[in-house]
Amino acid sequence: MLEPEYNFNLKCENIYLTQSGQIVLNNRDQILHVHDFKRLSTGEISLQNLENQLEEINSKYRFLFNRLHQYLLAANKCMLIFEGLIPAHDLESYRIKSSCKEIIYPNLNTDFASELVNMLKTNYNVAATLVSFEIGAPAIEQRHNLLRISAPALTSIFDIDAEPYQRPWATYDLLFAQLCIALGGTQVNPYSYN
C-alpha cells in the first residue's frame, strides 16, 4: 500500500462480514471496514446498493492513499507501526472461513525491514523508522531504524465482544504510552491499568 503505484480497488468478491455482522473484512488488503458500509436499523451491515457503496468507498480510499503518498513526498521522516499483537495461528480458522489471504507478520529482523526503508527512501526520499508492537514483558529496544516495544497482554471491557481481528485495546493503549515515552514524551505510568 505504500508503493506509489498502489491502487485501492475493493470489489464484491473481497467483502466478508465478520462473525457479528457488524464489520466488513476486506480480504484483498486485510482491512476492517468498521464505518464504511451503510447499516440497517438493527446496526448490522447493509449490503443493499452494494455497487454504489463500493464506488463511494473506493473513491474515499483512493483519496486517502493518494493523500498518504503526498504526505510521504512532503515529509523528511516517517514512522511505520507493525502490530504482532494477535498470533497468526489464533486467527487461522477465521481466516479460512473468510477466504482471507494467509496472515504473515513481516519479520523485521530480515531483509524486509531494510527493503521497506530503502523503498521509502527511493520513492519518497523519506527516512523511515519502523516500530514493532509486541506482546511480552515490558520493554523498549532501539536499533537502527527499528524500535521494538512490548507490553503484557491486558484485558479490558472492550475485549468481551471483540472480533477475532480486533487488537486487545488495553494493551494497545499501553503500547502507545510506551511509544510516547520512547520518543521523549511525558513520563506517565502506563502500567497503572486496573
pLDDT of residue 154: 79
The terminus-to-terminus CA distance of the chain in angstroms comes to: 37
Residue-wise pLDDT for 108-158, tens only, equals 777 888 889 999 999 999 999 899 888 888 889 887 778 889 888 877 666
The average confidence (pLDDT) of the chain is 81
- Name 149's bridge partners: 133, 140
Domain range holding 21?
1-74
174 residue type, one letter: L
Indicate the number of domains in the chain: 2
Same domain membership, residue 193 and residue 171: yes
Residue-wise pLDDT for 14-43, tens only, equals 998 876 677 888 888 878 888 999 998 888
Same domain membership, residue 119 and residue 42: no
Residue-wise pLDDT for 98-112, tens only, equals 666 666 666 777 788
Reported as a pLDDT band with limits 50, 70 and 90, residue 63 is very high
Same domain membership, residue 149 and residue 174: yes
Same domain membership, residue 147 and residue 188: yes
> Alpha carbon 157 to chain centroid distance?
21
pLDDT of residue 61: 97
Reported as a pLDDT band with limits 50, 70 and 90, residue 194 is very low
